[in-house]
Amino acid sequence: MSDVLSQDLSRALLSDMVRVRRMEEKCAELYGETKIRGFLHLYVGEEAVAAGSLRALDAEDAVVATYREHAHALLRGVPMTAIMAEMFGKQEGCSRGRGGSMHLFDAARRFYGGNAIVAGGLPIAVGLGLADAMQHRNRVTACYFGDGAVAEGAFHESLNMAALWRLPVLFCCENNLYAMGTALERAQSQTDLTAKAASYNVPTLAVDGMDVTACHDAAQQAADHIRTVGGPFFIEFRTYRFRAHSMFDPELYREKAEVEQWRTRDPIRAFADRCLSAGVLDENDITAIEEAADAEVADAVAFAEAGTWEDVGDLERDVLTPIPEGVR
């Protein structure tokens, strides 16, 4: 435990991780009850990355995420009620029930998605960074993506452009070792992902993604660099998801023993134990955090249950149609 880690920050980091874990565990349960349908990609095991790194950002910064984005949306400030209603497909959801699990969005909080396309968020982040640079705004755009995205052309194009134009983009690679069901070493000849970013003259860090304080410190260092020195920064968060790729995934590509070994490094349990050992938090603090998270989840589910379906008359709302010939 770092000597400079305050009691308030310790409580906040632990609370963030517990809130994410409890919300997602409930989502898995609701999925089994068919109250949540469609695709559902859970973040269980990776909570330290979002909890640590997002605390390094300011309100005016922007966040772009992947389809595994529940944690990023919640910790960016999107109310759990709006997230859960979106999961249910209710119009009170943050995307009016039209996006579901993979397309959470909240422009007011500068949370620009949820993106179902692998690496699809990187060019968006570069665009946001370019806009800030052109307007001379001292902001950071944090873009989250998995190790699978590093094999996509959009990754290389985005890193290259961000480096050439010195754009204020924080590239956050959540390397959980598997792109869906393909192990990293079976898909990429260079498994040190920082080396790929460094080839574009982008400064890099590799960090233990199961350690929330390490994630926080790395993101703070990177954000400070972007604000003061300028240009992009790349962090590889080396983490692991405890659950399958999605609720549809039979998970036949990795051994159960491997998953159980990683579970011994549970970021929530590890950080709670460190807080207790250091005397920063006590058992009552941890119990209060867990009870608050459970109450928030219960309220969110009740809100979603009570939500309303969009009227069928709105089916074509926001759908652009071609202009008929002769009208132009």
The number of angstroms, rounded, from the C-alpha of 21 to the middle of its chain's C-alpha atoms is: 13
pLDDT at 168 over 60: yes
Tell me the average pLDDT across 88-107. 96
Q: Which domains does the chain have, with CATH numbers?
A: 7-314 (3.40.50.970)
**Percent of the chain whose pLDDT exceeds 90:** 91
Tell me the average pLDDT across 86-107. 96
259 to each of 167, 178, 262, 292, 313, how far by Cα in Å?
38, 12, 5, 29, 47
Closest CA to 65 of 193, 151, 170, 206: 170
pLDDT of residue 246: 92
Q: CA angle 55-61-64, nearest 5°?
A: 85
pLDDT of residue 199: 97
Closest CA to 14 of 297, 207, 216: 216
Quick check: 117 and 145 in contact, CB under 8 A? no
177-234 residue pLDDT tens: 999 999 999 999 999 999 999 999 999 999 999 999 999 999 999 999 999 999 999 9
Quick check: 128 and 64 in contact, CB under 8 A? yes
pLDDT at 3 over 70: no
Residue-level length of the chain: 328
Average pLDDT, the chain: 95
46-73 residue pLDDT tens: 999 999 999 999 999 999 999 999 999 9
